[in-house]
Amino acid sequence: MTDPHPAPPLRAPRDGTRGVPDATVARLPVYLRVLTGLGERGVTTVSSEELALAAGVGSATLRKDLSHLGSYGVRGVGYDVGHLVQHVGRCLGLAEEWRVVIVGIGSLGHALANYGGFAPLGTRVVALVDSDPSVVGEQVAGLEVQPAERIVRLVSELGVRIAVLAVPAASAQAACDAVVAAGITSVLSFAPVELQVPAGVELRRVDLSTELGILAFRERRRAAADGEEPVVVLPETLVAAGVGGRGARGVHAEVAR
């Protein structure tokens, strides 16, 4: 699948999004956001240096990323903000509207439904569903909560392609199976469990506790590097989970090797 050499003589690869690396794709939304912000503030031209700074990446990375989309910069000048917004936007699929259903209208589902930030990236929440009959019928963010079985019709009639799962961990796999069975091909889950999906279905997870766990790891590393003695508190929940180690202060970790 890797044809390393012959590229240069060839023009833009078909529609411009063929071999874009995953790492680049993950940064495109960031670039787009920064660019639209600049545009709103009346900026018409940016250099890779400025744009990179604002996006929090290196300028070389930024230029390489944009070059993957068949870039539109002007040598000696920089990038035209308007053009670049259009170009990146089109690559991300913003000329189309990606319809989203939110599954599970608990407090997180509520928050997501009311969150206005999707639209600028081409996605729109068009339906809310919940399996709890006492929630169905409720009006949230201008939409009526529908029964879970309705997903099938949302996919076939409204063209919904993306499901956001905001359900409890215990029912996440079942909800995921249900939306996949209904024909959903992209899933964004907020539940703190690993979901299994069939091949061909895109799954992304956003997990608050995972993120906090990563931050905690770094805090801990920093504290250790500082020789600092952290406050040690053992909440019962952790003890119950079997964590804590002998003596409640396992500083003498085995330094194998």
Residue 131, annotated ligand binder?
A: no
Residue where the block lists tokens 């009311």: 114
AA identity, residue 188: L
Smallest distance, Å, CB 195 to a second copy? Answer: 8
In the bound complex, what is the minimum distance in angstroms from residue 70's beta carbon to DNA? 8
Measured distance CA(42)–CA(82) in Å, rounded: 10
Residues 163-202 within binding reach of a second copy (CB under 8 A): 164, 169, 185-186, 188, 192-194, 196, 202
CB 26 within 8 A of CB 33: no
Spatial neighbors of 124 by CB under 8 A, at least 6 apart, are: 97, 98, 99, 100, 118
Q: What's phi and psi for 223, nearest 5 deg?
A: -60, -40
Q: Residues 75 to 134: which contact a second copy by CB under 8 A?
A: 82, 85-86, 89-98, 100, 106-108, 110-112, 114-115, 117-124
Q: Of 75 and 246, which has the nearer Cβ to a second copy?
A: 246
Give the separation between CA 125 and CA 146, rounded to whole angstroms: 13
Q: Where are the beta strands (DSSP E) in the chain?
A: 45-46, 79-80, 98-103, 123-130, 139-140, 143-147, 162-165, 186-189, 202-205
Helix pair angle (22-40, 59-68), 10° resolution: 100
Terminal C-alpha separation, the chain: 40
Which entry of DNA, a second copy, none binds 199, CB below 5 to 8 A by partner kind?
none
Place of tokens 């928050």: 111
CB of residue 76 to a second copy, shortest distance in Å: 19
- Using CB under 8 A as the binding rule, the residues of this chain from 18 to 57 that contact a second copy are 25-26, 28-30, 32-34, 36-37, 39, 54-56
Q: Site map for DNA, 16-55, x if CB under 7 A?
A: -----xxxx---------------------xxxx------
Q: Can residue 86 be called a binding residue for DNA (CB under 7 A)?
A: no
Flag whether 137 is marked binding: no
Which distant-in-sequence residues (6+ apart) come within 8 Å of 221 by Cβ?
none
Of the listed pieces 65-73, 172-180, 208-216, 217-225, which binds DNA according to CB under 7 A? 65-73
Question: What is the contact surface with DNA in residues (CB under 7 A)?
Answer: 1-2, 6-8, 21-24, 46-49, 57-61, 63-64, 66-67, 71-79, 257
Annotated binding residues for NAD(+), written as ranges, equal 104-109
